[in-house]
Structure 1
């Protein structure tokens, strides 16, 4: 009898194993990773080129004049963005004052007290998620129709702050809920087992542990609000103003609107002014994000 011949071909219907590289990684996965890295590289390169262009254009006007002078459409060499900077600070300060307490309390209620089986609580959660994806111009229309004209607040800092609060409130709620949800349930159970009430457990255990996530999400939400121009233009934010806001009922302008105004001018000198204002806005945004990172690292807990 001859030696039996073994058929090494794969059986019918059995898929062939994917081809592997020498390091054991499938070729398709490797190509997918290369595609992701290429996409990231394209985005980073274009962002770097844009930042370099803005800084080069802004360099002649990156001095104290841009911080201390008011806008001037006649002599661009004397123009500054003081009113826009102060208006931005006023609007963002009132935005945080309105949206952060409401967002935090809403997140606490939905995570700690609301029954997820109730239909109205599920409806609230769905609406919050949907509101986070609505374009900002829709909030501008809402602010113009209800806050500015319906409530009679007019084209003021208060109107802008309330409109931007509605814009970023869903983001604040979602971020705060995720931070509260990340606190281990054993912390709650241990606190309740020692005799603490539900509110004492939330106030003394859950919220201190959730501070890093809540603070980070809130600052990132306000960072989005500080760069919005479309809803404020719709609300009637002034593009040329030569005084600082004196209160919540004062007229205002902000850096995005001032940048829009300078870009729309025909003279080339205003391009440097707009670029300098962009650099200032970027510095403010980077400072806010750095604060968010510091808060997250300083108050973070390892469970």
Structure 2
């Protein structure tokens, strides 16, 4: 119905709602710009090459976060290498192969429930299971496995929803042309669902980068520079854990803002890279 056919009262109501929606959108954008701007304003002046390329030393009275940057990248790499095949594979099975709809409904309910559990509970469970029961040491391996359990539901649900958006006519056409089930999934369904899979990866990486509560119990507080193999079973603080240490325990607020700035830049770079990879995969 066109706006000129509406009654004056409805037109006023429509304009009022438009104003409210525009105001809400503007307020959201303004808050985002304010927060990011304030963090950059406080953090950028304290970012230096020495901060980024060294480790903290009590003897030299210097602060460096290179170990924390590397530990963050280690945990992202380890978690995503494990969770992507598991999550995408589980979503493909539930959407394309599973015939017991009751079982599928139970699994979907379980994944939705897991996404709402506080991360500190995952940390406690990860400490009890991976460290105390399995005998792993506090480090990147225990922290990464804990994060795998935490972000697996996100990958499964986002991939599932993306697979469901692919029209059934695509599947039927591929099968009618003689393609097998797996060939149809691999060449028709997955390429058309790659956007949702990339979105799930971005959400998962964002949660990994911003996680601290679960890693406090499993990855540790270590600020020492280690290689990947050594860091697997050595106390290794990520950037978020280091931010907590410098802000709460050491009172280094300026360094905490610098770490927050680096975290935002790192998240932006990872998200842009994921989007570029997703576009290339879709073209191929």
Residue of structure 2 equivalent to 1:250: 234
Highest CA radius of gyration, 1 or 2?
Answer: 1
Cα distance in 1 between the residues matched to 2:261 and 2:200: 23
The structural deviation recorded for 1:66 is 1.8
The normalised TM-score by structure 1 is: 0.83
**Aligned pairs, number:** 277
The partner residue of 2:258 within 276, 280, 285 is 276
Residue of structure 2 equivalent to 1:91: 75
Cα distance in 2 between the residues matched to 1:266 and 1:156: 22
Cα distance in 2 between the residues matched to 1:232 and 1:64: 27
Residue of structure 1 equivalent to 2:148: 165
For 1:70-219, what aligned pairs fall within 5 Å after superposition?
70-72=55-57, 78-117=62-101, 119-219=102-202
Cα distance in 1 between the residues matched to 2:158 and 2:83: 13
Cα distance in 1 between the residues matched to 2:8 and 2:157: 42
The normalised TM-score by structure 2 is: 0.89
The partner residue of 1:20 within 1, 8, 28 is 8
Cα distance in 1 between the residues matched to 2:148 and 2:250: 34
Secondary structure at the counterpart of residue 70 of structure 2: helix
The structural deviation recorded for 1:159 is 0.6
Alpha-carbon distance change, 145 to 266 in structure 1, aligned in 2, over 3 angstroms: closer
Cα distance in 1 between the residues matched to 2:266 and 2:87: 23
Select the structure that is richer in helix: 2
- Most deviating of 51-60 and 104-113: 51-60
Which stretches in structure 1 are left out of the alignment for 5+ residues?
A: 1-16
Contact 1:57-1:271 at 8 Å conserved across structures: no
Contact 2:219-2:237 at 8 Å conserved across structures: no
Residue of structure 1 equivalent to 2:223: 241
Residue of structure 2 equivalent to 1:42: 27
Deviations 1:8-53 (A, max 9, x none): xxxxxxxxx98437xxx63334333323332333333233222222
